[in-house]
């Protein structure tokens, strides 16, 4: 009963940080402080970059929930579709799109800071609300309809956009309507001048209150931009404008305000603008190791169960089995999901639910993990296409190139499959013909984490190395996460050996009246076959150009030849020889190295052994003696 209760009580949380906070797990110890969180707390970084599901919003939610004096206040800006559309549509005559979008973001930040200061001066600074600069901010907010705190972001954006495109009421700062501003050479220049007046007013209030020295800064966070993102030019300008605005405001407000922008990696990496190199020192990319995911799983198991859960209890058989196949369970699980918390949480929960809810077990078994793994792989293959639907709408249509094949694929083999499909792909996605080339799809599939590239003795995925695929690299591996869903569960799609049916031979021989041919030299012939198999296995072991997965796959098939044979005489040798020739042809077609240390060396050894076995069998059915003299 105790085991059953523990399995039932363990839960690894929700896939999204918002529900994790609502249900309390994230704040009950289910959050694992990482480099992104530490960087955010220290103020060393402004850009937190990560793939979907990597934990950006979890860091954001944890910062919002933290108590203490690290920050005077925490403000979160999360544009919805309406707000995003307002920013995307914002234009100013005389300014390029990036600069115009930067102005609207700067206005949003200035208004948020002004509202904060008006309330903060009264609550945290004795008599601060009576300071002239603070009173000026209060008047400005009231005169421009920004004083109330309940409107939606889209309403404030719309109002601010109208003000910047026409005129803001700046009398609170001693600027008369139309004075000087009307002389601006363009709409963009006029908007910039108006905004500078507002920003100077905010900066003055921070300085006169002494916020930079009296307490922690105001933290302004922007999250979930992916909800309003598209690959079009106005969306790109929206994000570039945000970066420009945050950099400008950081410099203007100095230590009084800190900005933290959470951006999805594919969005950030798609940006190209002149000042992009100035943000390198502000970047922090979220990455997860297998050990970090193990620590996260243990922290969440403890937080959910409400009792002490050790690694031994979690992974030693009480909750999860100790091993799956011949692999330690945590390694098996986390190697088959992309290295990010969302995937790990989904896989762990699915294993628990499969065992407890579906199969009614008290503990998770190896069978439960395998069953959950097939479902999880299907989920992730669909999720990957949805994750990159905006940037790569054709991604799902590339999956058939890998279905029901080995998960190791060479550039040559992929080229042949792509050539057969390229016409259809171009007709379905005419706007992407430049990307739908062999080098183009290799770059895309590697960039999204679907394909890894062979480098030396390692297979490297984009999560492990930022280096893109190089032209000379020719061997790729489908990520273990997607193999089950694609039916690509073996390294190479090699035909399995089918042992010759001795009953068929016996029937045929008895009908011919020749009993002697059934029993002639069976032991010696089996020894010859074993000798050939060992020779091929030895060559396979020396094929250092192949990955261990590929060598293991070839060895497994040769093992079938050794284990599935029967002492039925020459016919069995001929069947094995025919299989060796077939296997050699498959290896040569794989393109996995023509040299002695690659598939070519094994193929030539297979062909040599096939010829030897035919000589041993006399080259014909029912012969006696070895023409090879061995």
Q: Is the dihedral of CA 285, 286, 289, 291 positive or negative?
A: positive
75, 220 Cβ separation under 8 angstroms = yes
Please check whether residues 39 and 103 belong to one and the same domain. yes
Alpha-carbon distance of 175 to 329, in angstroms, equals 69
Alpha-carbon distance of 435 to 145, in angstroms, equals 48
Q: Is residue 323 part of a domain?
A: yes
Please check whether residues 139 and 230 belong to one and the same domain. yes
Q: What is residue 259's predicted lDDT score, i.e. its pLDDT?
A: 93
Please check whether residues 263 and 354 belong to one and the same domain. no
Alpha-carbon distance of 87 to 238, in angstroms, equals 7
Q: Is residue 90 part of a domain?
A: yes
Please check whether residues 473 and 608 belong to one and the same domain. no
| Bridging pattern class, strands 451-455 and 475-478 | antiparallel
Q: Is residue 466 part of a domain?
A: yes
Structure tokens at 279: 């943000």
DSSP state of 81: H
Q: What is residue 621's predicted lDDT score, i.e. its pLDDT?
A: 44
Specify the 3-state DSSP secondary structure of 409.
Answer: strand
Structure tokens at 50: 């990560």
334 dihedral zone (left: phi>0; alpha: psi -120 to 50; beta): alpha
128, 113 Cβ separation under 8 angstroms = no
Q: Is residue 492 part of a domain?
A: no
Alpha-carbon distance of 149 to 146, in angstroms, equals 8
Examine the fold and report which residue of 362, 384, 406 is the final residue of a domain before the chain moves on: 384
Please check whether residues 404 and 278 belong to one and the same domain. no
Per DSSP, which regions of 310-356 are E strands? 323-324, 327-328
Q: Is residue 25 part of a domain?
A: no
Please check whether residues 98 and 236 belong to one and the same domain. yes
Q: Which residues does the chain have with pLDDT short of 70?
A: 1-5, 16-30, 148-151, 177-184, 499-523, 564-569, 619-630
Structure tokens at 98: 């990036």
Please check whether residues 419 and 447 belong to one and the same domain. yes
Q: Provide the domain count of the chain.
A: 4
Q: What CA–CA distances, in Å, run from 524 to 315, 398, 413, 613, 618?
A: 49, 51, 40, 12, 14
Please check whether residues 229 and 343 belong to one and the same domain. no
Q: What is residue 43's predicted lDDT score, i.e. its pLDDT?
A: 81
Q: What is residue 234's predicted lDDT score, i.e. its pLDDT?
A: 87
Task: List the strands of the sheet with 218-222, edge to edge.
Answer: 73-77, 218-222, 257-264, 47-50, 283-285
State the DSSP string of 434-496.
TT-SHHHHHHHHHHTTSEEEEETTEEE-TTT--PPPPTT--EEEE-HHHHHHHT--SSS-PPP
Please check whether residues 267 and 131 belong to one and the same domain. yes
Examine the fold and report which residue of 285, 300, 333 is the final residue of a domain before the chain moves on: 285
Q: What CA–CA distances, in Å, run from 570 to 394, 500, 559, 623?
A: 53, 10, 20, 7
Residue 254: CB partners within 8 Å, gap ≥ 6?
A: 212
Structure tokens at 504: 């068929």
Q: Is residue 131 part of a domain?
A: yes
Scan for tokens 């014909």, then name that residue: 620
Q: What is the CATH number of the domain that holds 526?
A: 1.20.1270
Query: What domain range includes position 437?
Result: 395-486
Q: Is residue 626 part of a domain?
A: no
Please check whether residues 170 and 149 belong to one and the same domain. yes
Across the strands, what pairs with 451? 478
Which of 105, 108, 14 lies closest to 61 in space, CA to CA?
Answer: 14
Please check whether residues 438 and 303 belong to one and the same domain. no
239, 271 Cβ separation under 8 angstroms = yes
Q: Is residue 339 part of a domain?
A: yes
Structure tokens at 52: 């979907």
Please check whether residues 170 and 89 belong to one and the same domain. yes
Examine the fold and report which residue of 343, 362, 384 is the final residue of a domain before the chain moves on: 384
Which of 611, 600, 601 lies closest to 577 in space, CA to CA?
Answer: 611
Q: What is residue 177's predicted lDDT score, i.e. its pLDDT?
A: 56
């Amino acid at each position: 009963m105790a085991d059953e209760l523990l399995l039932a009580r363990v839960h690894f949380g929700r896939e999204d940080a918002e529900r994790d906070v609502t249900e309390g797990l994230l704040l009950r110890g289910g959050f694992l402080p990482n480099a992104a969180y530490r960087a955010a707390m220290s103020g060393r970084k402004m850009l937190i970059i990560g793939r979907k599901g990597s934990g950006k919003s979890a860091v954001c939610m944890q910062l919002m929930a933290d108590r203490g004096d690290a920050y005077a206040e925490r403000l979160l800006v999360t544009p919805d579709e309406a707000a995003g559309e307002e920013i995307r549509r914002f234009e100013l005559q005389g300014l390029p799109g990036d600069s115009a979008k930067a102005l609207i973001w700067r206005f949003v930040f200035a208004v948020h800071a002004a509202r904060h200061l008006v309330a903060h001066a009264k609550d945290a600074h004795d008599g601060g609300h009576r300071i002239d600069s603070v009173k000026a901010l209060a008047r400005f907010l009231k005169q421009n309809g920004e004083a109330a705190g309940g409107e939606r972001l889209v309403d404030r954006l719309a109002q601010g956009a109208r003000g910047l495109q026409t005129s803001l009421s700046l009398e609170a700062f001693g600027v008369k309507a139309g004075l000087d501003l009307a002389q601006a050479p363009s709409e963009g220049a006029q908007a910039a001048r108006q905004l500078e007046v507002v920003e100077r007013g905010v900066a003055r209030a921070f300085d006169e209150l002494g916020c930079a020295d009296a307490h922690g800064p105001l933290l302004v966070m922007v999250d979930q931009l992916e909800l309003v993102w598209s690959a079009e030019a106005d969306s790109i300008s929206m994000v570039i404008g945000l970066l420009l605005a945050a950099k400008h405001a950081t410099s203007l407000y100095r230590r009084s305000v800190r900005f933290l922008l959470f951006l999805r990696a594919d969005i950030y990496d798609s940006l190209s603008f002149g000042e992009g190199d100035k943000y390198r020192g502000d970047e922090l990319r979220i990455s997860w190791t297998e050990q970090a995911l193990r620590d996260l799983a243990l922290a969440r198991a403890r937080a959910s169960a409400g009792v002490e859960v050790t690694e031994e209890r979690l992974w030693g058989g009480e909750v999860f089995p100790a091993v799956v196949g011949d692999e330690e369970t945590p390694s098996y699980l986390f190697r088959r999901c992309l290295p990010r918390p969302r995937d790990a949480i989904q896989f762990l929960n699915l294993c628990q639910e499969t065992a407890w809810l579906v199969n009614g077990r008290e503990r998770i078994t190896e069978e439960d993990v395998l069953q959950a793994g097939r479902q999880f792989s299907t989920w992730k293959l669909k999720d990957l296409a949805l994750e990159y639907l905006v940037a790569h709408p054709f991604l799902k249509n590339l999956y058939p190139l890998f279905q029901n094949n080995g998960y190791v694929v060479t550039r040559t083999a992929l080229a042949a499959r792509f050539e057969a499909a390229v016409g259809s792909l171009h007709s379905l996605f005419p706007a992407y013909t430049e990307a739908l080339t062999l080098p183009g799809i290799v770059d895309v599939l590697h960039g999204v984490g679907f394909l890894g590239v062979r480098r030396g003795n390692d297979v490297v995925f984009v999560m492990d190395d930022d280096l893109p695929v190089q032209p000379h690299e020719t061997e790729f591996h489908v990520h273990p996460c997607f193999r089950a869903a694609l039916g690509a569960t073996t390294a190479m799609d090699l035909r399995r050996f089918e042992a010759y049916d001795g009953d068929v031979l016996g029937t045929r021989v008895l009908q011919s009246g020749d009993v002697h041919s059934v029993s002639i030299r069976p032991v010696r012939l089996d020894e010859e076959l074993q000798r050939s198999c060992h020779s091929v296995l030895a060559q396979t072991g020396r094929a250092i150009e192949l990955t261990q997965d590929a060598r293991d796959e070839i060895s497994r098939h040769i093992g079938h030849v050794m284990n599935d044979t029967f002492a039925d005489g020459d016919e069995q040798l001929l069947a094995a020889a025919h299989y060796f020739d077939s296997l050699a042809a498959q290896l040569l077609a794989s393109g996995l190295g023509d040299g002695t240390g690659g598939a070519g060396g094994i193929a030539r050894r297979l062909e040599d052994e096939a010829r030897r076995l035919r000589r041993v069998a006399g080259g014909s059915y029912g012969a006696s003696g070895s023409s090879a003299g061995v």
